[in-house]
Structure 1
Amino acid sequence: MVWAYRTAGIPDNLFERSEEVPITKEEIRALVISKLRLRENSWVIDVGCGSGSITVELCIQLPNGQVFGIDSDEAAIDLTKRNLLKFGMKANLFLGQAQEILPTLPQVDAVIIGGSSGDLTRLADLALSRLKTGGRIVFDTILIETLCLINGLIKKNSLYEIDITQVIVTKSKVISAGTMMVARNPVTIVSAAKP
C-alpha cells in the first residue's frame, strides 16, 4: 500500500510526476482540503486537477463520496489516472473545458478551483450553480490579480463564512554545509460557503 493513512498531506515524492503538469504541494493540499469541511459521503468537484494529487487525497477522505476531476490538458488527465491507480482510488475524470463540463455534473457539497484557463468569472458562476446551498467553494492562487477577481466574485455572489489565508511554506534542503530552508511561492487559499 502506497499510503496507509487517512490524513491529508501525502508526501509529494509518492506521486507520479511530470515536468509539464503542475502538482499542488502537500502542505497546500492539506490546507485546501481542510477548508472544504468534508464528510465521508461528500461529493466534490476538482477543477484543474493537474497531477491528481488533490483528487487522490479527496478519494482517500471520501470513502462513501464521489470525486469529479476536470482538466483541459490530456497529459494532466493521464497523470491523474496513473496516480489514482497507484493509490488504489477511483474518481470520475473529465477531459475538456470546465465551462462545458460543469453544467453536466450533479449538485455537489464542495468545489475546488485550482485553474481557470483565464475565464474565472464564468467558471465560478458555473461552479456555484453545481454547489448545494451551504456548500463550500475553495480557490487557490499565486496571482494577486486572481485574488482581486475572487474577492469581487465573493461579493457578487453574497458568499459567507469567507476565509482568506496566505501560506508561505519553506522546506529543508541538505547542502554540503548543513541544512538550509528553501521558500516556495506564497499561495493564497480562499474559501467561502454558498448562501
Structure 2
Amino acid sequence: MWKSKTPGIPDEEFERTESVPITKEEIRAIQISKGRLSAGQTVLDIGCGSGSVTVEAAIQVEESGKVIGVDIDPNAIELTKKNLEKFGISNYTLVEGNAKEKISELPQADTIFIGGTGGDTKDIVELCQDKVQSGGRIVIGVILIETLYSVLQTIEKLNFESIDITQITIGKSRKTKTGTMMLARNPVTVISATKK
C-alpha cells in the first residue's frame, strides 16, 4: 500500500480514533531518523498507541527485521494491528500490558522507541537499558517538561553516550475562506542516545 521508504507517512493514511494518540508525521519522521534503523534489526515500540511508529519502523527494518509494539490499552493494540495490516506489514508482534511488567519478557533490540507511557517514562527508560544492545539506540518522545527533566537525569546516569536533545515545533497549514493559515502544534522534545 505505501510505496515510499522515506519516513513521514501522512497522518490521514492511518486508521485513527479519538481515544488513542498518534505520533504526528513530522515528529515521527525525526524520531525514526534518530533511531538509525536498517534492514534486519529488532525494534521495540513502547507505548505504541496508534502504531504509526511501529509501522514506520517495520518498513525501515524490512522483512528481515522485526518490530514489537507494547501498549497497556487494548484499543491501542487493536488499532496498531489494523494499521500494520493496512500497510501490509507482517514482521511484527504486539504485546498488550503494562510495559514495566512486559519489558523483561521482550528480546534484545537494536533500537527502542519510547512514547505514550503516562507518568512512567523514567522507569521505562531504566528497564530498557538492559534491552538495548551495545551500540543500539534509544529514542524517547516527551511533551511535559517534568518528564524531560526526569528522563534526562536518568539517561545521563545510565550506560548511554552521544545524548541528543531535539525540540520540534511544527506549524501545519489549514485553508480558510480567505487564504491559508498556519496552526501550531504542541512542541515535542526527542531525546536520543547510543548505548556504550
TM-score of the two chains, using structure 2 as the length reference: 0.96
Partner of 2:55: 56
Q: Which amino acid aligns with 1:167?
A: I
Q: Which amino acid aligns with 1:76?
A: A
CA distance in 2 between counterparts of 1:59 and 1:130 reads 18
CA distance in 2 between counterparts of 1:119 and 1:11 reads 29
Partner of 1:170: 171
SS of alignment partner, residue 124 of structure 1: helix
Which range moved further: 127-136 or 110-119?
110-119
SS of alignment partner, residue 6 of structure 2: coil
Partner of 1:105: 106
Q: Which amino acid aligns with 2:51?
A: G
CA distance in 2 between counterparts of 1:43 and 1:183 reads 34
Evaluate the alpha carbon distance shift between residue 145 and residue 122 of structure 1 in structure 2; reply closer, same or farther with a 3 A threshold: same
SS of alignment partner, residue 103 of structure 2: helix
In the TM superposition, what are the counterparts of 1:94-173 in structure 2 within 5 Å?
Answer: 94-173=95-174
CA shift for structure 1 position 126: 1.3
CA distance in 1 between counterparts of 2:83 and 2:40 reads 22
Partner of 2:24: 25
Q: Deviations over 1:110-129 (max 9, x none)?
A: 10110223223321121111
CA distance in 1 between counterparts of 2:116 and 2:179 reads 37
CA distance in 1 between counterparts of 2:160 and 2:105 reads 23
- Percent of aligned positions with the same letter in both sequences? 52
Query: Is the contact made by 2:37 and 2:57 (CA closer than 8 Å) also made in structure 1?
Result: no
CA distance in 2 between counterparts of 1:189 and 1:39 reads 20
SS of alignment partner, residue 130 of structure 2: helix
Evaluate the alpha carbon distance shift between residue 46 and residue 141 of structure 1 in structure 2; reply closer, same or farther with a 3 A threshold: same
Q: Deviations over 1:38-74 (max 9, x none)?
A: 1111111000000001101111111111100000000
TM-score of the two chains, using structure 1 as the length reference: 0.97
Q: Which amino acid aligns with 1:184?
A: R
SS of alignment partner, residue 164 of structure 1: strand
CA distance in 1 between counterparts of 2:18 and 2:117 reads 20
Q: Which runs of 4+ in 1 moved over 6 A?
A: none
CA shift for structure 1 position 180: 0.5
**Aligned-pair Cα RMSD in Å:** 0.9
